[in-house]
Amino acid sequence: MAEITLVEAVDLALAYEMQADPSVVILGEDIAKNGGVFRATQGLLDKFGPDRVRDTPLAESMIGGLAIGMAIEGLKPVAEFQFMGFLYPALDQIINHAARIRNRTRGHLSCPVVFRAPFGSGIHAPEHHSESTEALLAHIPGLRVVIPSSPVRAYGLLLASIRDPDPVIFLEPSRLYRFAKQEVEDNGKALPLDKCFTLREGKDITLVTWGAMIKETMAAAEVIVKEGIDVEIIDVATLKPLDMETILSSVEKTGRCVIIHEAPKTGGVGADISAQIAEKALLSLKAPVMRITGYDTIVPYARLEKYYIPSVPQIVDAIKKTMEFA
Amino acid sequence: MKIVAHFEIPYYQILNEAQELVADLPSFAKDPAHLIRLYRLMVLNRLFDAKAIALQRTGKLGTYPSTLGQEAAFVGMGDALSKNDVIVPYYRDVGILIQRGVKLSEILLYWGGDERGNAFANKENFPYSVPVGSQPLHAAGVATAFKIRKEKRAVLTVCGDGGTSEGDFYEAMNVAGVWKLPVVFAVCNNQWAISVPRSEQTAAQTLAQKAIAAGFSGEQVDGNDVIAVRDRVTLALEKAREKSEPTLIEIICYRQNDHTTADDAKRYEKAKVREQEWEKEPIARLRRYLESIKAWSEKEEKELQVTSEAEIEKSVAEYLATPLAPLENMFDYLYATLPESLEEQRELLKQWGNTHG
Ligand SMILES: Cc1ncc(C[n+]2csc(CCOP(=O)(O)OP(=O)(O)O)c2C)c(N)n1
Ligand SMILES: [Mg+2]
């Protein structure tokens, strides 16, 4: 079994599903001949031909609307937005159409589309290539928002997203695209959507995170475990709909929780998780739930961007404060 | 049946690739000093470009979009603008910006990843626009402001061939036509939008004809002919100022480099085509013309290389010596005054700023 990166896992899952299901069609800017600007669709044009692997004109509202029409008509389009910062022209299509079509037609029509986009900061890219606005999409009823944080989960969750009968926003943390390799078995097995993944079991404190912040959270956990604190780490993976059951049962066990995300704090998905813990597990809590997040600012350009991302010491500090709270 | 509409798209060229004058010289071009000024700017643009790429390759600059082969398009546009006009650029417009008071070191600062590179002192310069095709609408808005205030001013906006596929681009053209706005839409058609060739962007024969559907005139100009670019853009800006009429100018050129330093055009472009297009490149063309009218010599060329290199080195030194901005600047320009609710986060940033390895 080969060790591959997260971006290669995306490519592998696309190839698997295109082979298995002739209704899967991929489209986007620079995805065919160029194999995508991150090479997430490398080799697919050669394997599956220009009918099913389509470079589009440069227009995101068009990509959104086109994919919706294709999906309603029975195809399974996987459309790429080159960066999350460039999917906004398609928000009208996604929010007003993709998310609502099943409901509006009382289930007669549905929209099994996947919208992929790289997102997040830390890759020294130019302006508009670094934001984490997943909460914007997680707010919308009718959408699924899925974020993988390892090659294995990228493979399994992308397969699940393509097979899902409803629209899925699949956000790929670009900072992790080539961060670590992992053995991924190309067996076509999907991982469950709408489920958190418990990456480490522990009894003292629950760390809840997703996407690229897995990296700093794992590093902080390594520090803190050495100090004798037994952490549990949860990768939320599907932000909408949210698997609160896993999070709540963990918090009921540990009584302490720190939520870590890269997106701005205000209106972030962390706020929702924290509110639900307060609503449903208040009496289990031994300390207030803390959120370590990006600031409520625009992500700085490359020179300062690393100062935007929550740091390992900052997470360690939050864990300690939560542990010491009496 | 009867035909209810006709249209024609003119193509303008003055100095062709064989350095022949194929049309009358406009009056500005009869002054060799003016042409020499344009030539100097193009050379500066090209040398700067090479330097920026070298900086990126050695880890001293972020992603950078080359302008190699497109110097005449930008330098010609920049020279056509009056001081009072507004420019709404995209991201490849070095040759315009250097004529609008933007320093080379500021351009490096922007691509080096520093917001201060976008803080143009000249407020008639809009900042860069990375979201492709979004900015022509801003230009239409600027033109609307001129119109409401009855000012005889014009606005020039630039995007690429790929940008013309975005809905916003059509919407900008449409409103400019209906409201008769004093705006010039320039499309730098360098034949590529990253890996997607112009032929896959639209089935229309020209990009210029998109103006026809919006109810105003569109034209093509040889983008390797700085005289023609300067002339056509000047006339369009005058038409905007005097008659409040929009124009679309498709500037035909060729991208002689990767899309940006993050791209590898070998994956999708035939080397041969690029070589053929290089035969038309704008700098050698003007140089030979200047030499033929005895306005330029080898000695002047050497001096120009030396002075341009020196200017560029100075700007690089300035750029590299620019210290990081204070971290708190992240908060300081979000609103006119920082909302109280953000003060706590601003303090947090100060506290944790030095823990980022
Ligand atoms: C809305 C949007 N979509 C996608 C991108 C990514 N992108 C940056 S430049 C580019 C191609 C632009 O081509 P063109 O308009 O021809 O301009 P050129 O760069 O060739 O001068 C793309 C797809 C973007 N910046 N903005
Ligand atoms: Mg182009």
pLDDT at position B15 is: 98
Same fold yes or no, A3-183 and A197-323: yes
pLDDT digits (tens, 9 = 90+) for B219-235: 999 999 999 999 999 99
Mutate to test the interface with A, among B60, B106, B128, B166 (most CBs of A within 10 A): B166
Query: Cα distance from B67 to chain A (closest Cα, Å)?
Result: 17
d(C-alpha A321, C-alpha A323), whole Å: 5
pLDDT digits (tens, 9 = 90+) for B109-131: 999 999 999 999 999 999 999 99
Comparing CA positions, the residue from B105, B109, B76 lying closest to residue B93 is B76
Mark yes or no for CB contact B132/A86 under 8 Å. yes
Catalytic residue list contains A129: yes
User: Which residues of chain B make contact with A215, given a CB cutoff of 8 A?
Assistant: none
Q: Chain B residue with minimal CA distance to A125?
A: B63
d(C-alpha B70, C-alpha B89), whole Å: 15
Catalytic residue list contains B267: no
Which ligand 1 atom sits nearest the alpha carbon of residue B259? 19
DSSP letter for A210, please. Answer: -
Ligand 1 centroid distance, CA of B226 (Å): 24
Whether the CB of B268 is below 8 Å from some CB of chain A: the reply is: yes
Which residue's CA is minimally distant from atom 12 of ligand 1? B193
| Measured distance between the N- and C-terminal CA atoms of chain B, rounded to whole angstroms | 74
Mutate to test the interface with A, among B114, B169, B195 (most CBs of A within 10 A): B195
Grouping H, G, I as helix, E, B as strand and the rest as coil, residue A108 is coil
Which ligand 1 atom sits nearest the alpha carbon of residue B131? 26
Which of B114, B201, B268 is opposite residue A301, by nearest beta carbon? B114
Mark yes or no for CB contact A37/B357 under 8 Å. no
A197-323 fold: Rossmann fold (3.40.50)
pLDDT digits (tens, 9 = 90+) for A282-319: 999 999 999 999 999 999 999 999 999 999 999 999 99
Contact criterion met (CB below 8 Å) for B184 and B249? yes
**Is residue B69 lining ligand 1, measured as CB closer than 6 Å?**
no
Which amino acid is located at A264 in the chain?
Answer: P
| Measured distance between the N- and C-terminal CA atoms of chain A, rounded to whole angstroms | 49
Cβ-based interface (< 8 Å): residues of A facing B = 29-30, 33-35, 37, 55, 57-62, 85-86, 88-89, 124-129, 265, 295-298, 300-314
d(C-alpha B327, C-alpha B313), whole Å: 28
Structure tokens at B18: 């064989």
User: Which residues of chain B make contact with A55, given a CB cutoff of 8 A?
Assistant: 195-196, 200
Q: How many CB pairs under 8 A join A and B?
A: 127
Q: Which residues pair with B251 in a beta bridge?
A: B188, B221
d(C-alpha A234, C-alpha A247), whole Å: 7
- What's A3-183's CATH class? alpha beta
Which ligand 1 atom sits nearest the alpha carbon of residue B166? 1
d(C-alpha B42, C-alpha A127), whole Å: 27
Which CA distances in Å does B131 have to A47, A141, A230, B90, B339? 32, 27, 45, 9, 28
Which CA distances in Å does B304 have to B310, B312, B318? 10, 12, 21
Longest dimension (CA), chain B: 77
Place of tokens 């003292």: A204
Whether the CB of B328 is below 8 Å from some CB of chain A: the reply is: no
Grouping H, G, I as helix, E, B as strand and the rest as coil, residue B139 is helix
Beta-carbon contacts of residue A181 (< 8 Å; ≥ 6 apart)? A3, A4, A5, A151
pLDDT digits (tens, 9 = 90+) for B252-262: 999 999 999 99
pLDDT at position B356 is: 80
pLDDT at position B336 is: 97
Residues listed for chain A:
326
- The alpha carbon of residue A307 and the mean position of all alpha carbons in its chain are separated, in whole angstroms, by 22
d(C-alpha A25, C-alpha A54), whole Å: 8
Band of the pLDDT at A205, cuts 50, 70, 90?
very high
Mark yes or no for CB contact B325/A125 under 8 Å. no
- The alpha carbon of residue B68 and the mean position of all alpha carbons in its chain are separated, in whole angstroms, by 12
Ligand 2 centroid distance, CA of B92 (Å): 10
Mark yes or no for CB contact B342/A62 under 8 Å. no
Structure tokens at A93: 């299509």
Catalytic residue selected from B255, B285, B289, B319: B255
d(C-alpha B189, C-alpha A304), whole Å: 34
d(C-alpha A240, C-alpha A146), whole Å: 7
Query: Cα distance from B82 to chain A (closest Cα, Å)?
Result: 29
pLDDT at position A256 is: 98
Catalytic residue selected from A128, A129, A139, A261: A129
User: Which residues of chain B make contact with A311, given a CB cutoff of 8 A?
Assistant: 352, 355-357
Chain A contacts in chain B segment 157-186 (CB below 8 A): 162-163, 165-168
- At A91, give phi and psi (nearest 5°): -60, -35
pLDDT at position A151 is: 98
Grouping H, G, I as helix, E, B as strand and the rest as coil, residue A158 is helix
Q: Does residue B353 have a pLDDT over 90? A: no
pLDDT at position A326 is: 82
d(C-alpha A308, C-alpha A93), whole Å: 31
Ligand 1 centroid distance, CA of B355 (Å): 35
Structure tokens at A142: 């009718």
> Angle at the Cα of A84 (from A79 to A89), degrees rounded to 5?
75
Mark yes or no for CB contact B267/A126 under 8 Å. no
Contact criterion met (CB below 8 Å) for B13 and B221? yes
Comparing CA positions, the residue from A41, A101, A36 lying closest to residue A72 is A101
DSSP letter for A189, please. Answer: P
Which of A34, A57, A309 is opposite residue B195, by nearest beta carbon? A34
Q: Which residues pair with A183 in a beta bridge?
A: A3
Query: Cα distance from B268 to chain A (closest Cα, Å)?
Result: 6
Contact criterion met (CB below 8 Å) for A170 and A220? no
What is the mean predicted confidence (pLDDT) over B49-55? 98
**Is residue A88 lining ligand 1, measured as CB closer than 6 Å?**
no
**Is residue B338 lining ligand 1, measured as CB closer than 6 Å?**
no
User: Which residues of chain A make contact with B345, given a CB cutoff of 8 A?
Assistant: 265, 295-297
Q: Which residues pair with A208 in a beta bridge?
A: A234, A259
- At B178, give phi and psi (nearest 5°): -65, -40
Band of the pLDDT at B33, cuts 50, 70, 90?
very high
Q: Does residue A1 have a pLDDT over 80? A: no
Band of the pLDDT at B354, cuts 50, 70, 90?
confident
Which CA distances in Å does B82 have to B13, B72, B78, B79, B125? 23, 18, 9, 8, 12
Give B143: exposed, middle or buried? Use CB within 10 Å, 0-12, 13-18, 19+: buried
- The alpha carbon of residue A161 and the mean position of all alpha carbons in its chain are separated, in whole angstroms, by 11
User: Which residues of chain A make contact with B196, given a CB cutoff of 8 A?
Assistant: 29-30, 55, 57-58
Grouping H, G, I as helix, E, B as strand and the rest as coil, residue A169 is strand
Domains of chain B: 11-325 (3.40.50.970), 326-357 (no CATH)
What is the mean predicted confidence (pLDDT) over A239-252? 98
Chain A contacts in chain B segment 131-150 (CB below 8 A): 131-134
Which of A57, A297, A304 is opposite residue B201, by nearest beta carbon? A57
Contact criterion met (CB below 8 Å) for B155 and B86? yes
The ipTM value here is 0.96
Q: Chain A residue with minimal CA distance to B65?
A: A126
Mark yes or no for CB contact B327/A304 under 8 Å. yes
pLDDT digits (tens, 9 = 90+) for A123-164: 999 999 999 999 999 999 999 999 999 999 999 999 999 999
Q: What rounded mean pLDDT belongs to chain B?
A: 97
H-helix or E-strand spanning residue A44: helix A44-52
User: Which residues of chain A make contact with B193, given a CB cutoff of 8 A?
Assistant: 29, 58
**Is residue B223 lining ligand 1, measured as CB closer than 6 Å?**
no
Contact criterion met (CB below 8 Å) for B47 and B305? yes
Cα Rg, chain B, nearest whole Å: 21
Q: Which residues of B62-87 are buried (b: 16+ CB within 10 A; e: fewer)?
A: bbbbbbbbbbbbbbbbbbbbeeebbb
- At A20, give phi and psi (nearest 5°): -75, -30
Structural domain boundaries of chain A?
Answer: 3-183, 197-323
Comparing CA positions, the residue from A309, A282, A6, A248 lying closest to residue A232 is A248
- At A276, give phi and psi (nearest 5°): -70, -35
